[in-house]
Amino acid sequence: MKNNFWGLIWSSFNEIQGVLLGLLGFLGGIALIRYPFNTSIPLDIVIVVSFFTLLLIATLLSAVNTLLRQKQKLEAEVKELQEVNQKLETEIKQRIIPKIIRVQKDANNNILCLLEASDLFAYDIYISFYYTDDDGFENLIAIGFVNVIQNDGKIQAILNQPYPNYQNIIDALDGNDPKLIEKIIIKPSIPRNFNTGQP
């Protein structure tokens, strides 16, 4: 009944009937004092008009109160959905290819990349580094491995076997150029011909 305006009004009317009867008795007493029987305004008209006025006001107030309760309930549900959505987004992000957060050199002068958390990566697995060129092609530029999985889930990946043809790109990674970093993709796999030493 509360799915439309008139349904809400009818429901509100039913909710205020008990209160209305009490107020009606009070209003009737006031009307008899305020308007004696010799008044030019018929008492029955005063009572009828007052009754319907009170009925209308009480019904509308009840409807407004119901709407406010529904609004608060809706806001709570929206907040809960937002929290669930945020959790789902976090879970999805952990299952996709992670992005590079920062690049620096390690103690052996190898490229060390800090990656976002991802369930696809595990400690000490081989990984491959790809560079996406201006035409949209991904080119394998190096092989590496996962060195550390941090407590916060972030991944430390070391690039230790670069392909000579892309040495300039690899050297530039240490500069943490955001545009270059966006073009680097790190995958939790290596080419089938990796052991042959040929790209």
In a domain, 150, yes or no: yes
Structural domain tally of the chain? 2
Instruction: Among 93, 124, 148, identify where a domain stops.
Output: 93
Same domain, 152 and 183: yes
Same domain, 12 and 74: yes
User: Euclidean distance between the first and final Cα of the chain, in Å?
Assistant: 70
Same domain, 52 and 112: no
Is the model's pTM score more than 0.85? no
CATH number of the CATH domain containing 122: 2.40.30
Beta carbons within 10 angstroms of residue 89's beta carbon:
10
Which is nearest to 154 in space by CA: 88, 85, 93, 89?
93
Residue 116 region by backbone torsions, left for phi larger than 0, else alpha for psi between -120 and 50, else beta: beta
In a domain, 76, yes or no: yes
Same domain, 117 and 82: no
CB-CB contact of 170 with 111 (8 Å): yes
pLDDT per position in the chain (199 positions), as tens?
445 655 655 565 556 555 555 566 566 656 555 655 555 666 666 666 776 777 677 677 777 777 778 888 888 999 999 988 888 877 666 567 899 999 999 888 899 999 999 888 999 999 999 999 999 999 999 999 999 999 999 999 999 999 888 989 998 998 889 999 999 999 999 887 766 444 4
Same domain, 44 and 78: yes
And the tokens for 71? 């609004």
Same domain, 79 and 145: no
* Domain span at 21: 5-93
Specify the pLDDT at position 191: 84
Distance CA 99, CA 162 (A): 19
Residue type, 182: E
Instruction: Among 93, 110, 125, identify where a domain stops.
Output: 93
Same domain, 87 and 117: no
Give the list of residues 6+ apart from residue 196 with CB closer than 8 angstroms, or none: none
